[in-house]
Amino acid sequence: MKLSTVFVLVGIIIISLYCLIEVSYYSSADNSSQNSTNTPYIEIPSINVDQSINNKSVDYGIYYDPHSAKPSFGTTALFGHRTFHGSPFINLDKLKTGDNITVSWPGIGNVEYAVVNSTVVDASYRLNVDQGNKLFLITCYPLGSDTQRLIIEANQVTIYPINNNQPHTSEPPYGLFIIIGFFAFGLILSFLYPLKEDQYIIFLAIIAITAFLVLAYLFPIPPDAIESQLSWFNNLLGV
């Protein structure tokens, strides 16, 4: 096996780890949607957000800060990524004053908010969670960087009962799409790889990694375990 093939394999593994992050995320999201009656949701029609809220980590989607209050009981803070992990807040910077946000919280109801302000602060900024009945949405800024934070502030407008007969929007099986896309990319690469004697190595690697992605879709892997391996590979290559 040529040295160039080794570098190609390392590159494929790094790409597969990024795919693995998304596959595990979407698999976990599919599982949570099956129990949607007990799961909080947030809807932001102007940027097409209709997603569940979790209390595990921002790596599982939109995360509720337990140091803040629940909706209608004070200041609520929700965090989300703009890249990877489903990128739930990728378009958060497009929100405008007056835009509607609805948080559906079992046991509380549908709490509606209206956007009143958008602020960019340093990453070290600590939000005051004692500001009355407000909602803060927080994400990294600018896109692809974590040096700053974009904070959307919204005031509570009203609250009304949850209508369980109106289901939340179900997302397409993005995890499966990612697996199929990776496999197609790998097949093309293996057949077009210029070193004919190493083509089978690339092909076998793609088959093995695709099978692993399928398993990860069926049995999601914790994001921190994936990202630790990704960081190791990036450090190895000096990225």
pLDDT tens digit string along 78-132? Answer: 999 998 888 899 999 999 999 999 999 999 999 999 999 999 999 999 999 999 9
pLDDT band at 192 (very low <50, low <70, confident <90, very high): very high
- Contact present, 80 and 89 (Cβ < 8 Å): yes
If one compares 239 and 221, the residue with the highest pLDDT of the two is 221
Residue 62 lies in a domain: yes
Query: Is 49 in the same domain as 90?
Result: yes
Shared-domain flag, residues 79 and 120:
yes
* Structural domain boundaries, residue 232: 3-28+173-237
| DSSP assignment of 91-123 | TGGG--TT-EEEEEETTTEEEEEEEEEEEEEET
Share of the chain above pLDDT 70, in %: 87
% of the chain surpassing 90 pLDDT: 62
Q: Quote the pTM value.
A: 0.81
Q: Which structure tokens are listed for 8? A: 């190609």
**Are 150 and 46 members of one domain?**
yes
> Residue 30: what pLDDT?
58
User: Does 94 reside within a domain?
Assistant: yes
Q: Does one domain contain both 132 and 191?
A: no
Q: Same structural domain for residues 154 and 77?
A: yes
Q: Looking at the 3D structure of the chain, how many domains does it have?
A: 2
Evaluate whether residue 168 is within a structural domain.
Answer: no
Q: Are 43 and 95 in contact (CB under 8 A)?
A: no
Secondary structure of residue 52 in the 3-state scheme: strand
Q: What is the pLDDT of residue 165?
A: 63
The pLDDT of residue 220: 82
The predicted model gives 14-26 an average pLDDT of: 88
pLDDT, residue 3, reads 85
Same structural domain, 143 and 120: yes
Among the listed ranges 61-70, 82-91, 148-157, 220-229, which one has the minimum average pLDDT value?
220-229
* Residue at 223 is within a domain: yes
- DSSP assignment string, 123-192: TT------SSSEEEEEEEESTT--SEEEEEEEEEEEEE---TTSPPPPPP-HHHHHHHHHHHHHHHHHHH
Cis preceding-peptide flag for 161 (omega within 30 of 0):
no
The answer to whether residue 166 sits within a structural domain is no
Tokens read off for 32: 């949570």
Contacts of the segment 118-121: beta carbons below 8 A, 24+ positions apart: 118/93, 118/150, 118/151, 118/152, 118/153, 119/150, 119/151, 119/153, 120/148, 120/149, 120/150, 120/151, 121/148, 121/149, 121/151
Side-chain-side CA neighbours of residue 186 (13 Å): 25
